[in-house]
Structure 1
Amino acid sequence: MKIALISFTLNGQILGKEIREKLRIDHYEVQLFTKCRYQKSKMAIYVEESIEMWTGKMFQQTEGIVFVGACGIAVRSIAPFLKDKKNDPAVIVVDDTGKFCISLLSGHIGGANELTNILARRISAIPVITTATDLNQKFAVDVFAKKNNLEMSDSCLAKEISAVLLAGKKVNIFSESNLPENLPEGLVFVKENTSFINLYIGIYRNRGNFNDATLFLTPKVITLGIGCKKETKSETIEQFVEQVCKENYIDKKAIRQVVSIDLKIREPGILEYCNKFNLSFRCFTNEELNRVKGEFSSSLFVEAITGVDNVCERSAVLGSNQGKLILKKKAHYGVTLAMAVEEWSVDFE
């Protein structure tokens, strides 16, 4: 996690240096800045511009900001740049004596609460966290989703689930992967299609007893194998992926990466599709694809051109570390698609 720390006094500079050294133990990368003209050390970069301008830059460049000073300075500095909990960085305030460590912004998804607790332990400060689920020691959906790399379908529903748990009521949960026997307080495991599901964890959609109040948590575990004719448009690829996902009840948010043969490494349509959806693109040689074990659809035509009997299925399995092929080759519009899913599980610790 990349953090920018700014201080305003000589004491703050000294404390900032200590914080940087202590957080290195937990693999945080901290860069020191100061607005104090009486610099005692060259360890901190003096900020010539206004604190508001500096804060705006740090909102774009870092994952967290630590203000060593007054809460009022921090609040006024960050106010113009606030967007939402998915985009705002973690913001923490530490007084320049190191007595209090306050989680000010993005406590859950941004990681400010976790960082506050870690930092407080390291410098023997008192952590100040005001998030209700933390204070009441209740399951927090957004924290759980972040730790397990799950995409939430609706942040508003996540708040509703937290409210239900805080009210002492039960939340029905289902997962396509195995869940531990002992779940956090308030969560009740139910079987798919047996009762209404509040929280669904998996790669499939619209197969169970859902309505608009079901929150879907989607693991990014699918590798999408693609083959296509030369100069195939990205719109054509996108349209076919959407169609295939819909027909097979697959949540497209579960797609982690796109793979193909190295002959397609500069295929414009595939590259544009990957850029649009922020997906990595990997390619393999025909020798690598031919070594993949499994039963695959075979095409003499494809083999004559590429040197391998099937591109999309073999590359999907190889890219997913020999994962399970959940969608065999589908062909349309000059595009072939296949999907493989790697092993996954969730952790409540």
Structure 2
Amino acid sequence: MGKTAILAITKNGVKIASIIKEMFPTWEIFAPAKFADTTNANWYDDSTTSKIADLYKSSDAIICIFSLGAVIRLIAPHLGDKKTDPAVIVIDDKANFVISTLSGHLGGANELANELAKKLGSTAVITTAADVNKTIPVDLVGRKFGWNIDDDSTVTKISAFMVNEEKVGVYQDAGERNWWEGDLPKNVTVYDTFEKLEKSDSKGFLIITDRKITGEILKNAVVYRPKTLVVGVGLHGDTTKEKILEGLYACLEKFNLSPKAIARFASIKKPQDINSLIETAKEFGVSVEYFERDDLAKVRIPNPSVMVEAFEGTASVSEAASILSSKGSLVVEKQKFPPDLTIAIARIEK
């Protein structure tokens, strides 16, 4: 959990907050100044209404040590949506219960409540249907691996299918395979081909792939994008970001791949990093991995270049870098965008 605030408004609440801070030293305690003592806390003079408004904007999680009803009234004016709201946990004044109150899944409140309850010897209170029914939380599949959901507009619909035990089909051709531990719920069936999935009598679908998906199936599907693609780039010092993006999107379109599945970029180590490549990677929220020419020269590739070898000291940059970084195999062999750019894409095998 990122920035976490502990908000206590009673003397006993401050004591509980102190116990929690011993377990999580980076978390900050906030409490009314009238209770100020030797506790390492931020003592405030303004109202708790005003303070929680500030914390709601600046925190990833808020631990409230007072009644659930009071917390609901205080946070109600600030509710946004589950993508942006912080996790909110409520703990009673005797620490008997740790209640996941807001952003249970995406915000991490359920996980945090369970962790706190275990450490405090309390009872965790979790009310989200997927957790209560011990079924797949559709909005969390692959989250621990950094997977993205392609379009979250269908999440609520497929979640309803899941918790109501309607038939849900799963197809996966990329990414980590251990996204679900134990036996799958009885209403969930895994199909080994996409064609079988489409022809099944499933009402909803979970599709885990780095390939583009089209068609009617998307109306009842959640598509997950595992980070499986490494984009190898050969370029000149003056190759522009616009040129890289144009070439990249052309490759993704031609080979039916999703940009949301890009794990990182890879290239040859030069005396100076090329800003256009760095900026391109930043646009996708990923990094660039560099390799020495001698290491690239050792990689077996399908399309060696005499010209590249003369210029760079290795017969391949884009193909070799993508293979070396992914430790997998090429899904897009070298594509040329004259006069200054080549792109190849390899898949990370999980």
Q: Same fold (TM over 0.5)?
A: yes
CA contact (8 A) 1:192 1:208 kept: no
Shift in alpha-carbon separation, 1:16–1:311, aligned structure 2, 3 A: same
Q: Which residue of 2 aligns with 1:38?
A: 35
Q: Which residue of 1 aligns with 2:242?
A: 235
Aligned AA for 2:109? A
Within a 5 Å distance, the mapping from 1:279-298 to structure 2 comes to: 279-291=286-298, 293-298=299-304
Q: Which runs of 5+ in 1 are unaligned?
A: 345-349
TM-score calculated relative to the size of structure 1 = 0.86
1:300 matched to 2:306? The reply is yes
What is the rounded CA distance, in whole Å, between the counterparts of 2:196 and 2:104 in structure 1? 35
Q: Which residue of 2 aligns with 1:210?
A: 217
Using the aligned pairs only, state the percent identity: 29
What is the rounded CA distance, in whole Å, between the counterparts of 1:247 and 1:51 in structure 2? 56
Within a 5 Å distance, the mapping from 1:8-157 to structure 2 comes to: 8-22=9-23, 29-47=26-44, 51=48, 54-55=51-52, 58-59=55-56, 62-79=59-76, 81-157=78-154
1:160 matched to 2:157? The reply is yes
Q: Which residue of 1 aligns with 2:322?
A: 316
CA contact (8 A) 1:142 1:158 kept: yes
Shift in alpha-carbon separation, 1:86–1:335, aligned structure 2, 3 A: farther
* Helix, strand or coil at the partner of 2:196: coil
Query: Aligned residue pairs: how many?
Result: 338
Structural RMSD (CA)? 2.7
* Helix, strand or coil at the partner of 2:27: strand
Pairwise CA distance, 1:56: 5.6
What is the rounded CA distance, in whole Å, between the counterparts of 2:230 and 2:283 in structure 1? 16
What is the rounded CA distance, in whole Å, between the counterparts of 1:336 and 1:271 in structure 2? 16
Within a 5 Å distance, the mapping from 1:243-254 to structure 2 comes to: 243-254=250-261
* Helix, strand or coil at the partner of 2:294: helix
* Helix, strand or coil at the partner of 1:301: helix
Within a 5 Å distance, the mapping from 1:171-210 to structure 2 comes to: 171-177=168-174, 182-190=183-191, 191-196=193-198, 198-206=205-213, 210=217
Aligned AA for 1:94? I
Shift in alpha-carbon separation, 1:264–1:215, aligned structure 2, 3 A: farther
Q: Which runs of 5+ in 2 are unaligned?
A: 199-203
Shift in alpha-carbon separation, 1:161–1:261, aligned structure 2, 3 A: same
Q: Which residue of 2 aligns with 1:347?
A: none
Higher alpha-carbon deviation: 176-185 or 278-287: 176-185
